[in-house]
Structure 1
Amino acid sequence: MSLSHSPDTHSKLIARIPQVTGRGLPEWFTTIENGPSFLRCEERSHWLAEEHGLSHGYAAALVREHERARRERHY
């Protein structure tokens, strides 16, 4: 499974997450931050999908968006 979607697909997935999951991005980001300390994004994505019943597409988009937001906070 690839963690990379086209920018358009990624934006659409992120926009639908609150409706699909009932949880907003800040809540998902907290879940990711409080989850296991995996080194690879793919491992976090698999854990998120399996632990929280998400499709791998949504899980991958969440992990990718979390990484993007985390990088922006450090600048």
Structure 2
Amino acid sequence: MSLNHSPETHRNLIARIPSVTGRDITEWFTAIENGPAFLRCDERSNWLADEHGISHGYATALVREHERQRRQRHY
């Protein structure tokens, strides 16, 4: 099941990740980049949640933010 957050909820989740997880966003992006090469975002979110013990909501927000920033780098 895929989670779709509103833009405001997404921003709030991203802002809380360092305090909730004890890791900053760049550390999570590194984990995503070094993790398995899944093609689908929901597969990456599930892996991130299961492998690192974070909620699926935070995992989904991290994967979406990683994809958003990655797309911006390519333009």
Does the alignment reach a TM-score above 0.5? yes
1:2-34 CA deviation, whole Å, 9 max, x = no partner? 232001110100000000001111110000000
Aligned to 1:52: 52
- Counterpart position of 2:19: 19
Using the size of structure 1 for normalisation, the TM-score is: 0.97
Q: Scaled by the length of structure 2, what TM-score is found?
A: 0.97
Aligned residues: 75
- Find runs of 4+ consecutive structure 1 residues off by over 2 angstroms: none
Structure 1: stretches of 5+ with no match in the other structure: none
Output the CA distance in 1 between the equivalents of 2:28 and 2:4: 19
Question: Aligned partners of 2:63, 2:32: CA distance in 1, in Å?
Answer: 8
